[in-house]
Amino acid sequence: MNRPNKILHYVARRLMQGIPIILAIVVMNFFLLNLAEGDAVDVLAGEAGSATPEYMEKMRAKFGLDQPLPVQLAVYLKNVVQLDLGYSFRHEMPVHELIFDRFGATLLLMTSTIIIAVGFGILLGLLAAVNLNTWKDALISVFALITYATPLFWVGLMMIIVFSIKNDWFPTSGMENSAAFYEGFDRVKDIAHHLVLPTITLSLFYLALYTRMMRASMLEQYGQDYVVTARAKGLSERRITFVHVLRNALLPVVTMAGVQVGALIGGSVIVESVFAWPGLGMLAFESLFARDLNLLLGIFLLSSVLVVAVNLVVDVIYCILDPRIEVN
């Protein structure tokens, strides 16, 4: 078999393997979530102030919560197989609508964060490794250490105080201006304006991670035999760094980025909460406390599908970055 064909074959097989994994995740999540005391009816009735037991029984019957757990699970699995994520009784809306409503915001924040974090992380790590043990290296390392160690919520709040309240440069929170309701290109500009602070806050944390990783990875590659060979061959340091070392040093960073894309899809509860960014993280967080299990299971399902998919993509990128890695 030739190489592209082999890759396609590999992808197809991995996808087939992914299905039982995802089903297993669904079943596990279902039972884990049902371990929690109280159900959606308790929360709804509690918020309402008061409700009669008959009313609560009626609601349980309507939500299907009066059925035994295995029956509830069977119903849920049957729906999932038919690509129906069920209904959120709390929101009186289908789960897929609720999720896709929020998915855009999450995707926006996630993409901009990954681009900035990975991009600048690689750049800073490279700079630090090339200028090993100089003041530049020290400065970058200290910066990475501080941003990595600072709690996200604190960074977020400081951003708001400095760049929104003290200096009127950015809005405090939200995804768009809810007094003006811009349309067309103005709306794009408005959303981008709102995106800046949450992206920087979330990026800082991951940026530190990639910087440190890239630096270590570069240094490791510099010690390899092929670098010695390259030097013996008379290649310039510049060419060694950018053509040989950099390419190899990227592998672990790509692995890490892959893992984190999965995590980021789940959203960042802290950043979303501080900046009132309407992503999936807050939705999941709120549905946990509301015991809105259908919605929560839907979000988990989406995350697990994406994690499986992203891992697959990372494996394929591996092959492209390093032709020595074989798929089989």
Partner 1 sequence: MKITKILNAVMMTAAITFGGGAVYAQQSGGSLVFLVQPEPPTMAGYVSTSGPIGLLGPKIYDGLFDYDNDGKMIPVLAESVDMSEDGKTVTFNLRKGVTWHDGEPFTSADVQFTIMDVLKKVHPRGPNSFKEVSSIDTPDAHTVVLNLDNPAPYMLRALSAYESPMVPKHLLEGEDIKSAKLANNPVGTGPFKFTEWKKGQYIRLDKNESYWKEGRPYIDRIVGRFIPDASTRASAMEKGEVLYAAYNAVSNVEAVRLNKEKDNISITTDGYSMINPMALIEFNTKEGPFTDAVVRRAISTAIDRQFMLDTIFFGYGNPATSALSSNFAATGLHAKMPHYPANGDVAAANKMLDDAGYKKDSDGVRMKAMFDLIPYGEDWKRGGQYIQQVLGEIGIQVELRYEDVPTWLKRIYHNYDFEMNLNYFYQLADPVLGVHRHYGTNMIRKGTHFVNSSRYSNAGLDALLGAGMKEPNAESRSAIYLEIQNILARDMPVVNLFELEFLTVYNTKLKGAYGSAMGAYSSFGDAYLEE
**Contact window for partner 1 (CB under 8 A) among 27-35, 36-44, 108-116, 122-130:** 36-44
Among 22, 33, 56, 316, binds partner 1 (CB under 8 A): 56
- 36 in contact with partner 1 (CB under 8 A): yes
Q: Based on CB atoms, which residue is closest to partner 1, 199 or 211?
A: 199
Residues 257-296 that bind partner 1 (CB under 8 A): 272-276, 278-279, 282-283, 286, 289-291
Q: Closest by alpha carbon to 201, among 275, 121, 142?
A: 275
4 and 327 in contact (C-beta within 8 Å)? Answer: no
Does position 104 interact with partner 1 (CB under 8 A)? The reply is: no
Alpha carbon 241 to its chain centroid, in Å, reads 31
Stretch in the footprint of partner 1 (CB under 8 A) among 37-45, 125-133, 221-229, 236-244: 37-45
Residues 265, 197: Cα–Cα separation, whole Å:
19
Identify which of residues 178 and 328 has a Cβ nearer to partner 1 in the complex.
178
Type of residue at 278: P
How big is the chain, counted in residues?
328
Which residue's structure tokens are 């990975």? 118
Is 107 or 316 the residue whose CB approaches partner 1 more closely? 107
Structure tokens at 247: 């390419």
Exposure string over 95-128, b if 16+ CB within 10 A, otherwise e: bbebbeebbebbebbbebbbebbbebbbebbbbb
**Counting contacts by CB under 8 A, is residue 220 touching partner 1?**
no
* Stretch of 86-94, 231-239, 298-306, 318-326 contacting partner 1, by CB under 8 A: 86-94
Beta bridge partners of 94: 87
CB 34, min distance to partner 1, A: 12
For residue 313 the two structure tokens come to 């993509």
Buried b (16+ CB within 10 A) or exposed e, 244-259: bbbebbbbebbbbbbe
Question: Which of 48, 83, 149, 320 forms a contact with partner 1 (CB under 8 A)?
Answer: 48
Q: Is 53 in the site for partner 1 (CB under 8 A)?
A: yes
Q: Does 160 bind partner 1 (CB under 8 A)?
A: yes
Please list, residue by residue across 300-316, b when 16 or more beta carbons sit within 10 angstroms of its beta carbon and e when fewer do.
bbbbbbebbebbbebbb
The tokens of 13 are what? 């097989």
96, 85 Cβ separation under 8 angstroms: yes
Q: Does residue 46 interact with partner 1 by CB under 8 A?
A: yes
221 binds partner 1 (CB under 8 A): no
Question: Of 156 and 258, which CB lies nearer to partner 1 in the complex structure?
Answer: 156
DSSP secondary structure code for residue 67 in this structure: S
Q: Tell me whether residue 76 or residue 89 sits nearer to partner 1 (CB atom).
A: 89
Stretch that binds partner 1, among 32-40, 68-76, 221-229, 316-324 (CB under 8 A): 32-40
35 binds partner 1 (CB under 8 A): no
Binding residue for partner 1, selected from 6, 14, 91, 136, defined by CB under 8 A:
91
Q: Which one, of 59, 55, 127, 112, lies nearest residue 90 by Cα?
A: 59
Point out which residues bind partner 1 (CB under 8 A). Answer: 36-39, 42-53, 55-56, 59, 62, 89-93, 98, 101-102, 105, 153, 157, 160-161, 164-165, 168, 171-176, 178-181, 272-276, 278-279, 282-283, 286, 289-291
